[in-house]
Amino acid sequence: MKLSFSSEDEQFRQEIATWLQDNLCGKYEPLRFRGGPGDEHMFPEERKRWEQHMAQAGWLCVGWPKEHGGRALSINQQVIFYEEYARAGGPGLAGHIGAGLTGPTLIAFGTEEQKQRFLPGIINGTEYWCQGYSEPSAGSDLANVSTKAVLGTAADGHTQQWRINGQKVWTSLAHESDWCFVIARTEPGSQGHKGLSFLLVPMDQPGIEVRPIEQITGTSEFNEVFFDDAVTDANNIVGQPGDGWKIAMALLGFERGVSTLGQQMAFQNELDEIIRIAKNNGAAEEPTIRQRIADAWMGLRIMRYNSLRMLSGPQDGTLQKEAMIYKLFWTDWHSNLGKLAMDVLGPESEIIEEGQYGLSRLQSMYLFSRSDTIYGGTNEIQRNIIAERALGMPKEPKGAV
Amino acid sequence: MEFVFTPEQQMIQDTARQFLDACSNSGHVRDAMTKTTGYDAELWQKICHEMYWQAIHIPEQYGGLGLGCVEMAILFEQMGRRLLCSPYFSTVALATNALLVAGTEAQKQHYLPRIADGSLTATLAYIGHASHGDNNSKDRYHNGWHTDSVTVTALPQFNQHTVITGYTLSGTLHYVPHGHTADLLVIAARLPDSSGEEGVSLFLLPSHLQGVEVQWTPSMDQTRPLAQITLNNVIIPADNVMLQSEYAWPLLEKTLQLACVALAAEQMGGAQQALDLTLEYTKERKQFGRAIASFQAIKHRMADMMLQVESARSAVYYAACIADEALQHHNPAAATDNVSQNDPLSPGNACHSSLDHSLADELPLASSLAKAYCSDAYFHCAAESIQLHGGVGFTWEYDPHLYFKRAKSSETLLGNASFHREKIAQIIL
């Protein structure tokens, strides 16, 4: 067990830090520290251009295997990459769903044709993805999906295609996306985990309507997506019909990983801002605030070492205990940080800019962090998972359907 | 960067677990805690002669195993899990660390081999104030573990050439772990009329010296006995003064930081066992026709316990890696010259976070982090274990009270969570 990085890794740190310094400037300067959860509505087009710029230098999808265009970076170098990217204020990557979820899923389960068709768009920053999982009646109970897909003949009389009807909700970045992966029920009358399929669906078509959801921040990055006879080619299914749940769950496994280090660096930026304000306005003299700031600092440090344990441990796809607590830990930490930010600001925390509900970054973080403990599996669901899978406690009895 | 055990570390953990499962179960602990010494001398000898744990991080040149703080944390975790009653913490985490940090070469050569071969137990004593409030001690609360807690006076003795030949020590020391049985006492004392960090020296005091009175003070947690030590004009020669005489506060502080990492590891092990005991009980206990472990009200609380235990684990391993760096790069003179540490949080330093010296500089932060987090986590888990055991959790017969009491005494020892959070605040704010 040791914490220091090798000199080769340190050299890599210099390389990426220098590249960012030389490139994240000029026309890209305004993008620094923008985007990401709570700020996805800012500069969407410019951020995509930045991602294409990164792609040209080979800095997207750095963990992917070389055969698929990645750099196959070691875990240590991926850690360094995400740390340096966030430290430099690299904007939130709109491509993270493609890079972190679609890509690894296709690499693991996709056909050769699917890899050739979809991976280049992700790695070049030219095609963006969103995730069609939750539905109005399938939130915590995700398997209760009712969006339906039927395989049939297209209007041209000979092409086979899936015809999709139903609704998805809480779809981040749907309005910025070219493709959506959708879990749909392809076996009529099936229930729960069975009879679901994992489909890749183009967003730009008459059968799809995206409606932004106005959040407590007054902004919108989550959407409702309506499928009204939306179509996709018969080949755009990952795995076999009925494999949808298996693939959907494997994909969630890809979600926890090195990018957590970048997220933490963004948190560090928020904490630094709070510390700066506290020192300036005298809140840092207040004993209870001092305790809470120290506590926040501790939580962030612990998060880092929870991650490093998770990343250093066996990479065999099994979920370690430190991985199972990860989401519960950071979401509680982050929503507490939001409250701390407002308490440090004092009465000034109430004042917003004139115009359209003009929140500051910290105000926006404070409000947006209320979603952290809900999306991607609520904290209550996280506790069920910990209790049942890590501690082996008996499963919740199923209610009558 | 490899934040995972080496095969050798894994083996140390497995061996320690097996040994303590066999030698320090609930019956053994209950037996040991009723002895006036507070431990089973036979088991201690077995540890010293079969396991060599007391020698774990003593360098090989002094007869030790020459391993590091991660290996030591692994042992403390298992000892905490099994509430091992022994002078291990006082001898290894307190006194040995003091010798490694502040011992002269002659002192190390004299004492470390004796600790390593199991012939000597030791402890560290520095708290001069009793905080019971009977002697108008309102201003002496300070959570107990502060520079002003050092009140024993060290009066220099001079020869005709005004060279210091020794000191006369007077005063009372409180809350000394295993202080009534230790052969060797590391004592912090200060020049008369000095205050704060000024004038503090460290002394090596064999407990049989004339004028040293030790007395066991019965305590609520019976698994780690405490003692009161009174020094009645004890005359100590200059050879027994440790490094940086009269300017030794930074060395004492560093010793305490290393000890905090060890204590945090022990607390984490205790929290893990409180969780495991409760898990086992709630899976067996049936009410309303089902195991109570199947109720969400129980499951969610257990999940929160596990979150704290696993986070405590990350905090301990992190702090242990930092303690390794800090001991390897220890330079007593630099420690006293450079009391205000470099700020490892400033962007420039963070950029070079892998440089060894800056990792070593994180010790004040890392040790306080581990002690603060593990103190709260252990108390939380031990309290939950009583609640989730229901009525039997409140009995003497079941074990949760042993963990609950140990959690509280360990939380207080070397400063509680808010004390350490304030230390962190002083660095980052």
User: Does the beta-carbon distance from A4 to B359 stay under 8 Å?
Assistant: yes
User: Does the beta-carbon distance from B321 to A1 stay under 8 Å?
Assistant: yes
Q: A353 is written with which tokens?
A: 């800019």
pLDDT in tens, A337-370: 999 999 999 999 999 998 889 999 999 999 999 9
Residue A78's alpha-carbon distances to A84, A260, B93, in angstroms, are 10, 11, 37
At A351, phi and psi to the nearest 5? -80, 125
Residue B293 contacts A where some CB pair is shorter than 8 Å: yes
User: Does the beta-carbon distance from A309 to B314 stay under 8 Å?
Assistant: yes
Q: Which among B2, B350, B425 has CB closest to A2?
A: B2
Residue B35 contacts A where some CB pair is shorter than 8 Å: no
User: Does the beta-carbon distance from A302 to B315 stay under 8 Å?
Assistant: yes
Residue A390 contacts B where some CB pair is shorter than 8 Å: yes
Residue type, A118: F
Which residues in chain A have Cβ-Cβ distances shorter than 8 Å to B347? 87
Q: What contacts B149, CB < 8 A, 6 or more positions away?
A: B126, B127, B128, B129, B140, B142
Chain B residue nearest residue A293, CA to CA: B425
Q: Which among A1, A4, A396 has CB closest to B6?
A: A1
Domain ranges of chain A: 7-94, 129-242, 256-390
Q: Nearest CA to B267 among B404, B141, B98, B86?
A: B404
Count of CB contacts below 8 A, A vs B? 164
User: Does the beta-carbon distance from A393 to B425 stay under 8 Å?
Assistant: no
Taking the C-alpha atoms of residue A303 and residue A309, their distance in angstroms, rounded to an integer, is: 10
Query: At the fourth CATH level, which superfamily is domain A129-242?
Result: Butyryl-CoA Dehydrogenase, subunit A, domain 2 (2.40.110.10)
Helix, strand, coil % over all residues of chain A, rounded to 5:
50, 15, 35
Taking the C-alpha atoms of residue B299 and residue B277, their distance in angstroms, rounded to an integer, is: 14
Residue B164's alpha-carbon distances to A48, A207, B250, B425, in angstroms, are 74, 93, 22, 39
Is A255 annotated as catalytic? yes
Q: Which among B9, B294, B424 has CB closest to A1?
A: B9
Reduced to 3 states (helix: H, G, I; strand: E, B; else coil), residue B48 is helix
DSSP A189: T
Taking the C-alpha atoms of residue A243 and residue A229, their distance in angstroms, rounded to an integer, is: 22
Q: A340 is written with which tokens?
A: 């701390």
Q: What contacts A358, CB < 8 A, 6 or more positions away?
A: A352
Which residues in chain A have Cβ-Cβ distances shorter than 8 Å to B365? 301
Please provide the CATH number assigned to the domain covering A256-390. Answer: 1.20.140.10
Q: Which residues 329-358 of B are in CB contact (within 8 Å) with A?
A: 347, 350-351, 354-356
Spell out the per-residue pLDDT of chain B, length 429, in tens: 889 999 999 999 999 999 999 999 999 999 999 999 999 999 999 999 999 999 999 999 999 999 999 999 999 999 999 999 999 999 999 999 999 999 999 999 999 999 999 999 999 999 987 766 665 555 555 556 788 889 999 999 999 999 999 999 999 999 999 999 999 999 999 999 999 999 999 999 999 999 999 999 999 999 999 999 999 999 999 999 999 999 999 999 999 999 999 999 999 999 999 999 999 999 999 999 999 999 999 999 999 999 999 999 999 999 999 999 999 989 888 776 644 444 444 443 443 344 456 899 999 999 999 999 999 999 999 999 999 999 999 999 999 999 999 999 999 999 999 999 999 999 999
pLDDT in tens, A268-317: 999 999 999 999 999 999 999 999 999 999 999 999 999 999 888 776 65
Strands (E), A73-187: 129-132, 148-153, 160-169, 179-185
b/e burial code for range B58-85 (CB count within 10 A of at least 16 → b): bbeebbbbebbbbbbbbbbbbbbbbbbb
CATH architecture for segment(s) A7-94 = Orthogonal Bundle (1.10)
User: Does the beta-carbon distance from B354 to A10 stay under 8 Å?
Assistant: yes
Does the structure show a pLDDT above 60 at A230?
yes
Does the structure show a pLDDT above 50 at A142?
yes
Q: Note the pLDDT of residue A312.
A: 84
Let me know: does A139 contact A212? Beta carbons within 8 Å: no
Let me know: does A298 contact A268? Beta carbons within 8 Å: no
Residue B137 burial (CB count, 10 A):
12
pLDDT in tens, B78-115: 999 999 999 999 999 999 999 999 999 999 999 999 99
Task: Report ipTM (2 d.p.).
Answer: 0.93
Q: Note the pLDDT of residue B17.
A: 98
Beta bridge partners of B322: none
CA angle B45, B48, B50 (to 5 degrees): 95
Domains of chain B with bracketed CATH:
7-120 (1.10.540.10), 125-240 (2.40.110.10), 249-428 (1.20.140.10)
Beta bridge partners of B291: B286
**The one catalytic residue among A46, A255, A273, A286:** A255
Gyration radius (Cα) of chain B, Å: 22
Let me know: does B143 contact B204? Beta carbons within 8 Å: no
Taking the C-alpha atoms of residue A229 and residue A226, their distance in angstroms, rounded to an integer, is: 10
If phi > 0 it is left, if psi is from -120 to 50 it is alpha, else beta; for residue B22 that is alpha
For testing the chain B interface, which of A20, A301, A384 should be mutated: the one with the most B CBs within 10 Å? Answer: A301
User: Does the beta-carbon distance from B303 to A328 stay under 8 Å?
Assistant: yes
Residue B50's alpha-carbon distances to A80, B44, B266, in angstroms, are 43, 10, 21
Residue B27's alpha-carbon distances to A371, B83, B282, in angstroms, are 49, 11, 22
Residue A8 contacts B where some CB pair is shorter than 8 Å: no
Nearest chain B Cα distance for residue A87, angstroms:
8
Taking the C-alpha atoms of residue B426 and residue A276, their distance in angstroms, rounded to an integer, is: 14
User: Does the beta-carbon distance from B306 to A386 stay under 8 Å?
Assistant: yes
Q: What contacts B382, CB < 8 A, 6 or more positions away?
A: B270, B271, B274, B400, B403, B404, B406, B407
Q: Note the pLDDT of residue B356.
A: 53
b/e burial code for range B279-311 (CB count within 10 A of at least 16 → b): bebbbeeeeeeebbbbbeebbbbbbbbbbbbbb
